[in-house]
Chains A and B, each alone.
Chain A
Amino acid sequence: MSRTIIRVENVVTTFGNTLVHDHVSCTVKENEIYALLGGSGSGKSTLMREMIMLNRPHSGTIEVLGHNLESITPSAAHDLRRKWGVLFQSGALYSSLTVGENIALLYKEYADLPATLIQELVALKIDLVGLPRHAIDLYPSELSGGMTKRAALARALALDPTLLFLDEPTSGLDPLSSRQFDALIQQLRDLLGLTVVMVTHDLDTIHHIVDRFALLGEKKVVAEGTLAEVLSIEHPLIDYFFQTERISSYSKETHGIQG
């Protein structure tokens, strides 16, 4: 049985008078690619922000890598932050620094390393995410959408995290780039032994690389599990999200009968 990396239990979140999460629970296991799926305003991004300590839930517990986020000490929180990498939806690269400086910043702040080693590490990370070397000296405003995502991923991977959070990694990318990005994430998970948590509504991503996911809707987790497990549940929201999925599996069945 693999270790539990993140455990969310009975989380309630409110913004003013609006209830966002009504006793939401889910678990992420080691070395899996886990997705939070849901429509706009279903609170999936908020849930991820609570996992990375940007927002606080109203009640309920969230445990990340064995730390309870509610009672965590500042120094433990600091250590925890070094163990994860976060890829924001728009990249959130520091716009006044080049891509190389964006990555090098973490090495400069967290370790006192010689300049040649930092340069080497930056180049390694750039190679790792499949960016061309000349991208190191470009500013974020000079990058295309796909390159921005890759550069932000390189920065998220800078300190060799064990846990990677991705906020809509494939949004704004063309279908081909999306699949390439999915493949890259899967490859990194396999090679570096990462645990990946992502917010997405890209059904292809769910289909191809996600191991398990939680479908959020009506302020709750409607279903959690593998794609097959979720599809076996009868719920209007699942029907709504996976219409095409069901149609295609249905047509496969009928073709099977004909053939």
Chain B
Amino acid sequence: MTDAAQLNTLASVADERPTRNASSWYTLLKPYIGSPFNAVVTFACLWLIYRLVTGAWGWLVTRAIVEGGPQTCKAAAGAGACWPFLAAKLRFLIFGFYPYDEHWRPALAVLLFLGAMIYSMIPRFWSRRLLWLWLAVVVTCGVLMYGGLFGLTVVNTTNWGGLPLSFMLSSVGLAFGFVLGVLLALARSSKLPAIQVIAVVFIEMVRGVPLVSILFMASVMLPLFMPDGVTIDKLLRAQVAIIIFAGAYIAETVRGGLQAVPKGQHEAAASLGLGYWLSMRKIVLPQALKIVIPPLVNIFIGFFQDTTLVTIIGLLDFLDTVRSAMRDPAWQGIAVLEGYIFAALVYAVFSYGMGSYSRFIERRLKTDHGHGRH
């Protein structure tokens, strides 16, 4: 306060600079309308934004069709959004080809899953018990989705689709991929040459090809290598492909964290008499993982969206149910954008959730200061 006041007097004495209060609007706007050119650009942009916002608002809300069917929307010829499409298709968009009367099962599974996720996001509940909770949740979700027990009818994985499928592929893929990634990262920074070479070859090979080709390998090539009469479920194959791919990427990120942990930490752990695994688990990895939270979340968000690639091997993920719904002959060509807008919203909500949670965790673990002083 006093410093600022002093500076102010000094400045006004020196060149009689206009005081802040009098010209705050001017200083604020100067970069935008200071010169004629800037002013033109600014107003052009404002006009564009205005047009975009009013146009979008008109299409999404004022001119939108809220009630009716395909014919009402077709008559409007795209003047406004066709929300009846979403209303008619909502359950299909979310659950795909899962039998209609059994929709409560994937719904319950998704709720359980989200509940467990939110529960385990709260630091107060962090303990070993979470592992058991997740085991129970995963088994329950599996039974709910597949059935065959407790009088639930069996629903083959070929009928799974929509949001439950996307959640499953990305969360299981990332959970197992994370474990695989940490192991690979440790292997790659190992002092044993054989293990190091295996890790390097694995990581570089997997990173060297696109996810699409790994999925194709899993869905097209693998069955041809299997002995006669044995087929592994396609969903399982895709899931393993995603785990492997995620593992390779996470490994490199984690390795970055491992390298950032000062050598003194390793030595200190060794001098305490801790063995390799114990020193990694108690000393090195906690610090390494803390450092790489932002890039890890980056990978997580990316993979959540990359799972949409499974559509190329005929699995109907959430984005693909949207596309399928648009191909219903009754609606084809009538509702084109509405489904995508819905999908974008869902993906945005979940990605934003992951991003905010990672910022919360970073604050809580104080990565920027805590480093090296655990």
A and B co-occur in one complex: no
Footprint of B on A, CB under 8 Å? none
Footprint of A on B, CB under 8 Å? none
